[in-house]
Amino acid sequence: MYLSPINGQSIALNQPLPFSLVDKHGILLAKKGFVFESEKLLNDLESRGGGFFIDFKEGGKALRHAHQSYVNRLQSVIRNQKPLGEIAKVGVQYAPPLAAGALEPQPVDWPYVLMKCNVLLHSASAEKFAAGLEEMVAFLTQQNQHNPDGMLFALFYLSSEYITLYSATHSLLCSVMCVLAAKDVLRWSDEEVALLFRATLTMNIGMTALQDRLAMQKTPLDELQRAAVDGHTHLATDTLESLGVEDRLWLDTVRNHHAYIHAPLQARREAHRFAGLIQRADVFSARLAPRVSRAPSSAAQAMRAIYFDSDMNVDGAGAALIKAVGIYPPGSFVRLHSGEVAVVLQRGPNTAIPKVAVVLNRHALASVEPIVRDTSVPAYAIASHVLRGDVRVHLSLEKMLALTRARPA
């Protein structure tokens, strides 16, 4: 990002914004064309975002030209020794742009993000849905650029902690997994990744409440619940259309995300290619998440379930997902050759040697402070996966996320 702070008092009321406004982390606050109808709304949004900023890199030439035009007009007013009142009228007041990385990233309240996603998936208003979806995509995109390991850690870890928000956690985890696989492994275009992001986040929209209830239900599905689950892809498509989504590729992807196509991933038509990646992420995430009626699978079991297709051939979508998140994904637990149990913090230079932090010593006692281990060292090499339910220790998510931001020496 290339952020420049601006003075909110210089933004005109009742006029469309000529550019989008973001907060100090680059997260969207108001889209280009948005109209502030009251000073209170303007001030409230500015306070909530820690000020208003413009991303010059994203804004492109038009925004940079607008900035230069403003500077030229300001200089003209000053040269002509105009009074201060005239200077204040010269459009949007920019500060010098901030270089990429100049802003210190702030900790993310991931439980709050889950709540926001839950609200989004319950949207009844087309306007609120569109705004909420774009805000969520912008936020996740920023996290993916800044700290993808922290994002994966939070979502893998919380998928085992927030059973009552199963649908939101599942959608978030699947979407970031798919985007990492599409962008970093399959090298799909930015346009394809953007559509995949939105389709994955909304793949189960329309059955959010049912998914959350089923995660807490001890008994098998009844006939009505089974019918709802079987028809949820069409329900999701109908719901998206009612919320104003007209993109046929988006809708076709959601409609087909449970269809298994027996063809190489890259040889499929576009909607089936996207749906194939979502389908594998869906299976992987669902197996890792606990429910009241069953314990979760280990990461190794979940990976085996998506790595091979029904003919026991390597599945291209499953293989791409595993390569993207690693054999030992951030947020999962492992046993080291030292006898210690550790949680994975970061993916390593190859999938077998991630960065980990010890949470149980070799006597199964909780560590007072997490101890970072280098798994490329034979004594601390990974011996096996460990189920989350077998690690009876409470972790400070904030403390662990700080360790995911620290780069290896």
The answer to whether 181 touches 144, Cβ cutoff 8 Å, is no
Over residues 124-177, the pLDDT tens digits come to 889 889 988 988 998 898 888 889 999 999 999 888 888 888 999 999 999 999
Dihedrals φ, ψ of 98, to 5°?
-100, 130
Of the listed ranges 28-37, 78-87, 108-117, 210-219, the least confidently predicted one is: 78-87
pLDDT class for 309, splitting at 50, 70, 90? Answer: confident
**Tokens representing 137?**
């995509």
Quick one: pLDDT band at residue 57, thresholds 50, 70, 90? low
Give me the mean pLDDT over the 230-241 stretch: 94
Judge contact between 185 and 262, C-beta under 8 A.
no
What pLDDT, on a 0 to 100 scale, did the predictor assign at position 98? 39
Residue 162 CA to residue 95 CA, distance in Å, equals 42
Q: What is the DSSP letter of 375?
A: T
Which of 284-288, 305-309, 316-320 comes out lowest in average pLDDT?
305-309
Q: Could you tell me the pTM of the whole model?
A: 0.73
Q: What's the rounded Cα separation, in Å, for the pair 64 and 101?
A: 19
Residue in the block written with tokens 């997902």:
321
Structure tokens belonging to residue 231:
């028809």
**Cα–Cα distance for residue pair 117/181, rounded to 1 Å:** 22
Instruction: Give the span between the Cα atoms of 287 and 409, in whole angstroms.
Output: 34
Residue-range domain boundaries for the chain: 3-88, 110-325, 333-405
Please state, for a pLDDT cut of 90, what percent of the chain lies above it: 44
Is residue 382 predicted with pLDDT exceeding 90? yes
pLDDT, residue 85, reads 47
Indicate the fold that domain 110-325 takes in CATH: Hypothetical protein af1432 (1.10.3210)
pLDDT at position 9 is: 67
Could you tell me the pLDDT band of residue 1, with boundaries at 50, 70 and 90? very low
Contacts of the segment 389-393: beta carbons below 8 A, 24+ positions apart: 389/160, 389/290, 389/295, 389/296, 390/333, 391/333, 391/341, 391/343, 391/359, 391/360, 393/359, 393/360, 393/366
| Most confidently modeled range among 4-8, 21-25, 149-153 | 149-153
Decide if 14 contacts 37 (C-beta within 8 A): yes
* Predicted local distance difference test score (pLDDT) of residue 321: 94
